[in-house]
Amino acid sequence: MGKKFEGWECSLQCSGNLSPQAHYPMRRLEEEGRDSEGKKVVLSVMGMSCAACAGSIEKAIKRLPGIREAVVDVLNHKAQVLYYPQMLHEQRIREAIEDAGFEAKVMEEDSKDTSTQICRIHVRGMTCTSCSSTIESALQSLHGVHKARVALTTEEAEVCYDPKIVTHNHFMSAIEETGFEAVLISTGEHITKIELQIDGIKNEQSLNVIERSLHELPGVETIDIYPDINKISITYKPYMTGPRTFIEVIESTGSGCFKAIIFPNDGGREAQRQEEINRFFKLFIWSLAFTIPVFLTSMVLMYIPGVKRVLDIKVVNMLNIGLLLRCEFATPVQFIIGRRFYVGAYKALRKGSANMDVLIALGTNAAYFYSLYVVERAASSRHFKGSDFFETSSMLISFILLGKYLEVLAKGKTSQAIAKLMNLTPETATLLTQDDEGNVVSERQIDSRLIQKEDVIKVVPGAKVASDGFVIWGQSHVNESMITGEAKPVAKRKGDMVIGGTLNENGVLHVKVTRVGSESALSQIVRLVESAQMAKAPVQKIADHISKYFVPMVIALSLSTWLSWFLAGKFHAYPKSWIPSSTNSFELALQFGISVMVIACPCALGLATPTAVMVGTGVGATQGVLIKGGQALENAHKVNCIVFDKTGTLTVGKPVVVTTKLLKKTSLSNFYEFAAAAEVNSEHPIAKAIVEHAKKIIEEEQNHPWPEARDFASVSGHGVKAIVLNKEIMVGNKKMMLDHNIAISAEAEETLAEAESLAQTGILVSLDGEVAGVLAVSDPLKPGAKEVISILNLMKIKSIMVTGDNWGTANSIARQAGIETVMAEALPETKATKIKELKSSGYTVAMVGDGINDSPALVAADVGMAIGAGTDIAIEAADIVLMKSNLEDTIIAIDLAKKTFSRIRLNYIWALGYNLLAIPIAAGVLYSSTRFRLPPWIAGAAMAASSLSVVCSSLLLKNYRRPSLLNNLDMNAIKIE
C-alpha cells in the first residue's frame, strides 16, 4: 500500500469518501439478508487500499441485475452482497469484482453473532453524584450488561448490553427499584421509534386488526397500543420500512375508515427540560408565598409596636398568635413543598447511600421539629419561654428550591449545542413521484418524519435538505457549516452526497434518500456528542470517591458541632454574653449544627467535571471538532507529540493533474479530449483526476459528452486502452507502453524522471502507437499544512509523519510540510508499534489519520484524531473527529482540551475550597473572636449558590475563541475541485 501511483495502483488512503451505501453497518446487511427473500454472500476481496477502491467495487457490483444491496469493508478486506438468486449467481458477482481489477473469492458465512445493543434511558430525580453512582452500580450488576454509564448533567443512562440475555425492561425495573423514575429513549442503535394517532377507532378489536396488519410488515420490531388515547407506538428498522408505509397500511385496513397521523409530540428533550424548569419555578413561588409570612412575623413585624401587640396576644397559655401563624405557614413548606426531599432521602437511604436530600431533610427537620416542640411547650405551660426556628426550615427550603431552579436553568444552557443540532432538519419535505423512466409525475409536501429510504425529495434554493442521500438531478452549492463547521459552500451535482440539515443555496436538487432516522449523519453526530457528554473523565473519579463519603462525613461533623457547642454551653465554657438574647445555649448549638449540615454541598463537586465536559464538547461540535468525552479531553490537553498519516491527512488524499507536457503537435484540448474519452470509463482515482482536469481545459459543462470509446479495456495495474474517433488510445504507465511496443523518447523519459524526483506519478498518453504527451499526477499537500506544523512547533509539540508510501515520496512531502521525523513504508500494524514506542519514551501521543487504514494506530495512540468530513467520520476508532478535514482543527482540539481541563481544575478548586472554607465558618470558628455566625437559612442560600457558581463557571467556556495564531492561516491557498 502507498507506493505513489506506480504500477497504476491506488495509493490514496481516502479520507473517507465512501459511496452512499458504504456507511451502513455490515450487521444491518446481515439482518436484511435474514428478513427478506434475498440471499447474502460474503467475499474476500484482495487488492483494496482505500475507500476509493471500495467505491469502485460497489459500483461494479451494483451494475449487475438482481443486486439489492452491497457493502464493502476496506479494513477487513470483505464485501457483503445481498442479491436475488433467481436473477443472479454469486459467481457473477465475483467476476464483476475481478473485472474491476481486484481478486475475490467467496467465503463461508460466519454464523457467530456477537451483536450488542445500546439502550438509552432518561432518569428523573437525580440530585448528586451519589444518585448516579447508585443507578450505575445497579445496572452494572445485571447479567448481560457489558457497560453502563449514568450522567447527572444529562440525566441519562446509557447501557451497552447483550439483547439475548437482558432487555430494556430489566434496566427500567432496576432504575425504578433504586427509587428513580425511568423513561425509555431508545433500545438499540439501528431501531427507530414513531408514535401514530389513529382516528376512527370504535373498539379494541379495531386496534387488534391494525396491530396484526402492521406486524406482517418486514422490519417492524415492537408495537405498543394505548387504547385510551388511540395511540400506537412502533419500533422498526428504518432501512426496511417506514412511517409512510405504516400510515398506508392502517388507512387501507378496515375498508378505509381509519385515519393515521404522527402523534403530536411535546418537543422531546427540550420540552422535558422546560417542564423541569417550570416545576422548580412553581415550587419556589409556592414556597415563597408561605415563607414570606413566616419571615415577616419572626423578623420584621416584631419591631412594629402595634403589630407586635397583636402577634403577642396569647391563644393558649404561652402560645401566641405569631408563633401559631409561623407554625401554620411553615408546615405546608416542610411537608408538601419539601416532599421531594423526603422522597429523595428515603430512596437513597433505602439503598444504603446518602445524598444531598438526606442533608436537607435532616437539617430542615431538626429546625422544624424543635420549633414544633416549642409550640407544644408554649401551649401546655404558663411560664415557658423559647424561640422557634420555623423561619429557618421554610427559608432554607425556599433558598434551596431557588438554587435548584437557577441550576436547572443554567444546566439547560450547557446542552444548547445538542438542541441546535437536533433542530437542524426541516419540518416538511417535498416528495417526488417518478415514473419508470425517472420523470417526475407529481410532488407533494409531507412531514419530514415520514421520509423513507429510497424516496426522492426535491430541495429548492434556500431550503434545508430533509435527509441524507445523493443527488440524482440538478446542480447547486450547499452550505454544510451547520454539520461540518466548514463555512465555504460545497458544490453538489449528480452523484454527490448531501447531508440532512444542510442548507441548499442556489440550484434545485433532486435527492434520493439513503439514510433516515438513527442512521442519518446528523443522528450519528448527535449521538456522538451525547455519548461524549455522558463519558466521565478520569479526574471525575476523585469527585465520585469523595462524594461516596461526603454526606456521612458532613452528618458526623454536624452532630459533632452541635454536641460541642451544647456541652460547652452546659458547662459554661464560654461567657453567657455569647448567647443572643432571643435564644439559649441549646438553640445556639442547634443553629450551628444545622448550618454545618446544609452549607456542605456535594452537588458542586459532582457538577465540576460533567458540566465543563458538556460545554466543552458542545463548543467543539460547533467548531467542527467532535470530542468523545472526558477521557479524550483529559488526554488531549497533555499531548506533546502528534503523529500524522500522509495520504488524506497531510495531503488532499485525491490525485490531481499538476503538469502536462505535449510531445506531439496537437492542441491541449484535443489531447485531453482523447485521454478523457478513454479514462471516463474507468473508476480509478487517477482516471477521475484526468477527466476532471480535462473538463477544466475544455471549459465545458459538467456533463460534457466525450467521444465514444470502443473496445475499451482496463489493464489491471497498468492503465486503459480504447479506440476513440478511429484512433488507438493508451493511457498508462511506462510498463504498459513497453508491453505494447511503443517507443518512449528521451524527452518523455526525462519528464518521467523529473516527476519521480518531485514525488509525482508520471502517466504516458499514446495516440496510434506514438507517445503524445506526459501527465504528472500528484497528491498535493493540504492548504495550511506547513503553517499548522509551524504552530505546533511553537506550542512545543513534536510532529512526526508515518506513512505506508515509499521513502522518496514521504521525504518530499515531509520537506514541504516542515516535518523532520519521517517513517515510511509502514504497514498499519507498524504505525501502531511506532506509536507504542513513542508512548514508552514518555510522550503523550496523538495520531491524526483518515480513520480507515489507520484504525490500529488511532486506537494505539493516547488520543486518536480522525480526519473525515461529515458522513465519513471514523466514530469507532477515534477519540476526536475533525469533521472539516482541516489540519488546523488539530490545534483547536488540543487548545479546547486545555481550556476545558483548566476549567475543570478551577471548578474543583472552587467546589473543594468552598466546602473547606464554609464548613468551619458554619461550625462557628469565627464566633469567639468576631461574633460572626451563619444562620441556617443563609447557609442554605450559600449552598445553593455554590452549585450555581460551578455551572456558571463551566458556561464561560461558551466564550471559547480559536487560538489567535490561527487567525492569519489561509486554508484556501490551494483549491482542489
Query: Which residues are annotated as catalytic?
Result: 645
Closest CA to 649 of 806, 363, 849: 849
The span from the CA of 866 to the CA of 873, in Å, is 7
863-867 and 845-849 strand pairing: parallel
Report the distance separating Cα 869 and Cα 875, nearest Å: 12
Rounded to 5 degrees, φ, ψ at 76 are: -100, 5
Which H or E run contains 736?
Answer: helix 734-739
Residue 471, beta-bridge partner list? 511
Rg (CA), the chain: 35
DSSP state of 870: G
User: What residue ranges in 518-612 does DSSP mark as E strands?
Assistant: none
Q: Find cell 441549646 and name the residue.
A: 586
Q: How far does CA 137 lie from the centroid of its chain? A: 24
Residue at 58: amino acid letter: E
Report yes or no: 214 and 250 within 8 Å, Cβ to Cβ: yes
Alpha-carbon gap, residue 172 to 558, rounded angstroms: 36
In the sheet with 468-473, reading across from the earlier edge strand, the strands are 440-447, 428-434, 456-459, 509-515, 468-473, 497-498
Helix ranges restricted to H, 104-195: 129-140, 168-177
What are the start-end ranges of the H helices in 806-870?
Answer: 807-817, 828-840, 855-860
Indicate if the alpha-carbon torsion angle 645, 651, 652, 653 is positive or negative: negative
Q: What is the three-class DSSP state of 844?
A: coil
Kindly report the number of other CB atoms within 10 A of residue 218's CB atom: 13
Give the pairing type, strands 727-732 and 719-724.
antiparallel
Backbone angles phi, psi at 721, to 5 degrees: -145, 155
**Angle, CA of 134, 139 and 144, to the nearest 5°:** 160
Alpha carbon distance 568, 585 (integer Å): 9
